[in-house]
Structure 1
Amino acid sequence: MEKHGDIRRYTFLTRVWSFFRKCLFSVLSFGPMPKHVAFIMDGNRRFAKNKGIEQGGGHRVGFSALTSTLQYCYEMGIDYVTIYAFSIDNFKRKPDEVQSTMRLMQEKIDELLKEESVVSEYGVRINFWGDLSLLSEPVRLAAEKAMVSTAKNTGPVLSVCMAYTSTNEIMHAVQKSCGEKICRIQEQYADGHDEDMGSILVADLEQHFYTSGCPDPDILIRTSGETRLSNFLLWQTTFTHLQNPAPLWPEFSLMHLVWAVLMYQKAYPYLKEASSTIKKMH
């Protein structure tokens, strides 16, 4: 009987918590809501050190924070969430730490595809952005499987930046754009034409970014109080509201997310005016 009573109490509290969130998000929706929020999930290792838990333990708690944050974002109606999971620069860490992180990534990617996951619940489509050839084969295959498995989903979009830096993304786009330009020039010569193909344009680069087809972030949140972008979405964050809340990533909660949206709503008139001014200048 006691067990059934505990289950009933848990179910009741879950429903109350869900109702509270719906009310809160309904109030928030009276202001301008972000369509795209990006996260630099900083502080997993410091959290583990502070709590005295084993290597990788902070990342496991961080994954739980990510799952909850994704759920809150999707309940708010945020259509795009992008996370910085692993930088190319992170490969410079100790080999055993990199290997441990790769194993954890594979495990968590597989978890995202389970039937009871937030991905299944909301019909999320998953992207993996970065030089995936740098990943260990099991992680790369897991990422490719996740993209194929969710490709037809019509719900929100989760983009995971792995083996990623913004400079690498820009270099990739330049190489692709130059390659296309050279091919078109060769085709023109082969057809007997000698037309000026012009320069490579910004639009040429942007269509080859990993982020092509995704709106620029409205908010970029880096936890742990750090103010660096660490080579993350440098091109795409020109008019993004940058925030650096103090909590370490595993400590990031609904309260912090709601506060981030409120700060964005407060800054929205300025961000909109700045964006409109720059567009008029061009």
Structure 2
Amino acid sequence: MSSETIVTPGRRLGLVEEHDAGPGTYVRGGMIYSSILGTKRITAPETSEKPVIQVDRKSPLAIPTIGSEVLCRVIRMNPRAATVAIMMVGSTPCQEDFAGTIRHQDIRSTEKDLVQMVNSFRPGDVVRAEVISLGDQRSYFLATTKNEHGVVFAQSTAGNTMIPVSWEEMQDPKTKAVEKLRVAKQGRIPQHVAFIMDGNRRYARKRHRIASSGHVSGFYRLANVLEWCNDLGIQNVSVFAFAINNFSRSPEEVSALMSLAKEKLRELADKSSLVKQHGVRIIIAGNRDLLPGDVREAAEFAEEKTQHNRGMRLNICFPYSATDEISAAIRKVTEDVRKGVLSENDIDEQAIESRLQIPGPPLDILVRTSGQIRFSNYMLWQSAKLAYIRFVDVFWPDFSFFHMFCILISWQLAYKSIKQRS
């Protein structure tokens, strides 16, 4: 059971003593406030827990029109056509159900008589296509005749995510099996993606578990996400593992998080397939002087163990805050001027940027889960440039490959306008 009303950003919603803060809200001074324009919703607890206040964003409707580029999933097929469910119009997810049809004659622009549906699509494939007609009363007519249109995501018969090897074939990277499909020309791949892994505690609370179990679930989801990023060809990934202000949480929770970090850092560096098979390099970014000695040793072990690897670079921000990072960079600049390494005339944006804790190329995409619309003092310097920001309304342990894939497609569609602003 729930109650709803329209609220604006900054609207006071309730007391933290009486409610839990949900997506679309923030907490300050013991009060819960709205962080977005939307519908306030109070959901009654299923047990003795406090009701949850959240604000649902009012999203613009995404309606396909002729010429729209859409992302769709193949539902069923016959020898003459594929029936699809349209999921996104441009970079906007659909709030309603729209059906589409890709007819045999609309798959390729040439040699149409040679097209075989079975070698073009399969149920479950995700396809990028163009709306060419409003169709009949049941569905839109779509086409994949352009090079950039076709299958963009497919799983092999073994259940693994496949990668394109040509315009008509995809390969399972694990089994090496090749399968025929109408493959879209691969879009640009971001160089650097960052994640604010939010929602572990609420994930656990929703399942009536202790908070530490949510963090364990979050670690296993991180392992999945890193595998996806590696398969997609993303070379630099940054993750917000622990904020400096998280030390203010209960001693029991902080202790559990430190124990988990110590265990998982060693496990990640010493046993994970990411390091052993793919050569991932681990970098710990943050103020490690704040860490307990045994946890700091585990962090140093992970860095030393992987320092010569040449695969994807994983920046684990732990413990970290952007203001601490920027302050430390300014202190380094001041110290270098004092030592004569840097002159006062050389102090500029690049001088500070080169001394930040998080290395790597410029940030392309920043993802925050749990529906909260805020940065939580994470990568503020890096996000201020041309980063593409996506807030996803799922808890971190529920973040899926499909969420990741849709974010990547949205970034590719928005890339041209992003570059025009640079």
Distance in 1 (alpha carbons) for counterparts of 2:345 and 2:388: 35
Cα displacement (A) at 1:138: 1.2
Aligned-residue sequence identity (percent) comes to 36
Counterpart of 1:273 in structure 2: which amino acid?
Answer: Q
Alignment of 1:156-235 (within 5 A): 156-184=312-340, 197-198=344-345, 200-212=347-359, 214-235=360-381
Aligned to 1:128, the other structure's residue is in SS state strand
Of Structure 1 and Structure 2, the greater strand share is in: 2
Alignment of 1:268-279 (within 5 A): 268-275=415-422
The 8 Å contact of residues 111 and 117 in structure 1, kept in 2 or not, is answered as no
Task: Flag the 1:173–1:29 CA change in 2: closer, same or farther, 3 A.
Answer: farther
Cα displacement (A) at 1:136: 1.2
Aligned to 1:45, the other structure's residue is in SS state helix
Counterpart of 1:234 in structure 2: which amino acid?
Answer: L
Q: Which moved more, 1:29-38 or 1:93-102?
A: 29-38
Q: What does residue 50 of structure 1 align with? A: 206
Alignment of 1:51-200 (within 5 A): 51-184=207-340, 197-198=344-345, 200=347
- Asked if residue 243 in structure 1 is aligned to residue 390 in structure 2, the reply is yes
RMSD: 2.3
Distance in 2 (alpha carbons) for counterparts of 1:77 and 1:29: 15
The 8 Å contact of residues 366 and 388 in structure 2, kept in 1 or not, is answered as yes
Distance in 2 (alpha carbons) for counterparts of 1:24 and 1:247: 30
User: Radius of gyration: which is bigger?
Assistant: 2
- The alignment of Structure 1 onto Structure 2 pairs a total of residues equal to 253
What whole-Å deviation, never above 9, does each CA across 1:115-151 have from its counterpart, x for those lacking one? Answer: 3432222100000000001011111110001101100
Distance in 2 (alpha carbons) for counterparts of 1:150 and 1:46: 33
Distance in 1 (alpha carbons) for counterparts of 2:353 and 2:162: 41
Question: Could you say which structure has the greater relative contact order, defined with CA pairs below 8 angstroms and 6 or more residues apart?
Answer: 1
Q: What does residue 137 of structure 2 align with? A: none
Q: Under a length normalisation based on structure 2, what TM-score does the superposition of the two structures give? A: 0.57
What whole-Å deviation, never above 9, does each CA across 1:78-102 have from its counterpart, x for those lacking one? Answer: 0001000000011111111111110
Task: Flag the 1:117–1:138 CA change in 2: closer, same or farther, 3 A.
Answer: farther
Where structure 1 has 5 or more consecutive residues not aligned to the other structure, the ranges are 1-12, 188-195, 276-282
Q: Under a length normalisation based on structure 1, what TM-score does the superposition of the two structures give? A: 0.84
Task: Flag the 1:14–1:120 CA change in 2: closer, same or farther, 3 A.
Answer: farther
Distance in 2 (alpha carbons) for counterparts of 1:251 and 1:21: 24
Aligned to 2:160, the other structure's residue is in SS state helix
Counterpart of 2:355 in structure 1: which amino acid?
Answer: H
Of Structure 1 and Structure 2, the greater helix share is in: 1
Distance in 2 (alpha carbons) for counterparts of 1:219 and 1:178: 31
What whole-Å deviation, never above 9, does each CA across 1:155-196 have from its counterpart, x for those lacking one? Answer: 1100000111010001001001001101118x9xxxxxxxx8
Match of 2:158 among 6, 12, 16: 16
Distance in 1 (alpha carbons) for counterparts of 2:171 and 2:209: 34
Distance in 2 (alpha carbons) for counterparts of 1:146 and 1:47: 28
Task: Flag the 1:32–1:14 CA change in 2: closer, same or farther, 3 A.
Answer: closer
Cα displacement (A) at 1:154: 0.6
Counterpart of 1:62 in structure 2: which amino acid?
Answer: G
The 8 Å contact of residues 200 and 211 in structure 2, kept in 1 or not, is answered as no
Counterpart of 2:210 in structure 1: which amino acid?
Answer: E
Cα displacement (A) at 1:218: 0.7
Q: Which moved more, 1:162-171 or 1:112-121?
A: 112-121
